[in-house]
Amino acid sequence: MIADYFRKMKGSTQSPPRVSVREILLSWAGGIVGIAAVLFLNDHFVAPAGRLLVIASYGASAVLIFGAIKSPLAQPRNLVGGHVVSALVGVTVFKLLHPFPWLAGGVAVGTAIAAMHATKTLHPPAGATSLIAVIGGPKIQALGYSYALLPVAAGALILLVVALLFNNIPNTRKYPEYWI
């Protein structure tokens, strides 16, 4: 039985093939355009008003919506839904458990995963969105539930718009696979 347990760690299949050079370049360009767009809007419109539009989990979202655009994890429902659901979970857990930051962080991420599964919005980068609600510092913690709207929902929607505009230009790409 112990042997079976360790045998599972050997793996059972092989790594998927490398994508074409064209695909690599398209993913590269998409990542640049997507994140630059959100940062540009942040620096010129949102930051001057004293708010924040960018959180680190968008870097991870960009991997999916520009690098794995056919993945269920990268579809609009998951991108926007996953971030918003996880933000709400993160804020709620912080409010309840903030005296124990280490526990709050774990519970926030675990609960975000479960909530995303239950709502069919699994989007791995959103795990970070729930964690940021807990460990993102006083400025983010002070936002309360409005964190789920700005930066989270607003940023995710901007990324979605860029993904729609960018991914449908090349004839080899089509986005999304489904909306909801």
Interaction site with other proteins (CB under 8 A): 12-17, 19-20, 22-23, 27, 67-74, 172-173
Output 70 or 120, the one with its CB closest to other proteins: 70
- Give CA separation, 112 vs 7, 35, 128, in Å: 31, 24, 9
Q: How far apart are CA 91 and CA 136, in angstroms?
A: 11
Q: From the CB of 43, what's the least distance to other proteins, in Å?
A: 31
Nearer to other proteins, 90 or 127 (CB): 127
110 versus 170: smaller Cβ distance to other proteins: 170
Instruction: Find the shortest distance in angstroms from Cβ 3 to other proteins.
Output: 21
Of 43 and 177, nearer to other proteins (C-beta) is: 177
Smallest distance from other proteins to CB 2, Å = 24
In the complex, minimum distance from the CB of residue 11 to other proteins, in angstroms, rounded to a whole number = 9
